[in-house]
Amino acid sequence: MKGIKAIMIIFSPLLVSWIALFLGAYEITPFMVLKILLNETFHIFEIGDIPEKAIIIDIRLPRVILAGCVGASLSVSGVTLQGIFRNPLVDPFILGISAGAAFGCALTIGFLSVLPVQIMAFLFAVLAVVIAYTVARVQGEVSRLPLILSGVIVSAFFTAMVSIVKFLVDPHKLQSIVYWLMGSFSLADWKAVKIGAAGVFFGVLPIFLMRWRLNVMSMGEEEAKALGVNIKRERLLFIGFSTFAVAVATSLCGIIGWVGLIVPHLVRMLTGPDHRSLVPLSLCAGAAFMIAADTISRTLTSFDIPVGIVTALTGAPFFLYLMKHGGQEAWGK
């Protein structure tokens, strides 16, 4: 049964992507989507410069791929940090990534408009994690609790800085800041796809290759040390790769919450807590979930709803479910 569930999860991004390509304000038949894709890949058909081709290749396809990359980055980072901290309620933004990226965005839009928003959001996201890790080292050896507490402190600091920027900027710029904070793929293009793919390659792929080590680290610090694992080094590596993946994703589309919390739990409940399978399945499920959420956000109404709203509306009831069951079922206990 678990094997069937795993196969369904693996192929879910392809199915959801296929559906997403022919849904939208401009209706395109599934056959036409297939014809356009085959023409672009193998040059089987001659379809000319029709409007449907531009919609699929230049608008919907890069948006779908970017959503998949972001979903994969957030979900894999979520399952990684949950394993490191041995806490099923940890999400990728626990170390202040979202708050740092938000401040970088707000600062750029408000006062440094000549600089790219993506670069500043990425730099401040990484800076937030570096500060959190540095603060956690004040007590000496970096362990789980000091890292979480320092992440809360850093998040509170950067959130306050964002509030200051929002208070000082003019209303037009404030609107742009607020919209970015909600998360959206409305500006997706092939350049953003390349950046998102780089985040997956340099952030998610190393985690995938080292995923078996998460089983050891999730056993606890004493048990891992007894098995000869360098906890400090391994934790730093996993946090570094996770931070890079999430920072790249956040810089491209804004803050999209709940994905890194919801998806790992769902996959864990379906297939078990073994990280050797949990990481790749979370990658596929995260991509499918994000593509589906973005499809809902752009087709539900005549205008583009920020996808962060859709994920929040999905995540809140799920979090209540976790509170009711204490997270034990999802954590595999």
- Higher-pLDDT residue of 67 and 258 is 67
SS (H, E, C) the chain: CHHHHHHHHHHHHHHHHHHHHHCCCCCCCHHHHHHHHHHHHHCCCCCCCCHHHHHHHHHHHHHHHHHHHHHHHHHHHHHHHHHHHCCCCCCCCCCCHHHHHHHHHHHHHHHCCCCCHHHHHHHHHHHHHHHHHHHHHHHCCCCHHHHHHHHHHHHHHHHHHHHHHHHHCCHHHHHHHHHHHHCCCCCCCHHHHHHHHHHHHHHHHHHHHCCHHHHHHCCCHHHHHHCCCCHHHHHHHHHHHHHHHHHHHHHHHCCCCCHHHHHHHHHHHHHCCCHHHHHHHHHHHHHHHHHHHHHHHHHCCCCCCCHHHHHHHHHHHHHHHHHHHCCHHHHCC
Q: What is the tens place of the pLDDT at every residue in 160-214?
A: 999 999 899 888 888 888 888 889 998 899 999 999 999 999 999 999 999 988 8
Region 217-233 average pLDDT? 74
Domains and CATH numbers, the chain: 2-331 (1.10.3470.10)
Structure tokens at 81: 């940090």
Region 293-309 average pLDDT? 88
Q: How far is Cα 208 from Cα 79, in angstroms, rounded to an integer?
A: 11
**pLDDT for the residue numbered 330:** 47
Q: Given a cut of 80, is residue 107 above it in pLDDT?
A: yes
Q: Given a cut of 90, is residue 223 above it in pLDDT?
A: no
Region 20-24 average pLDDT? 88
Share the mean pLDDT of the chain.
85
**pLDDT for the residue numbered 278:** 93
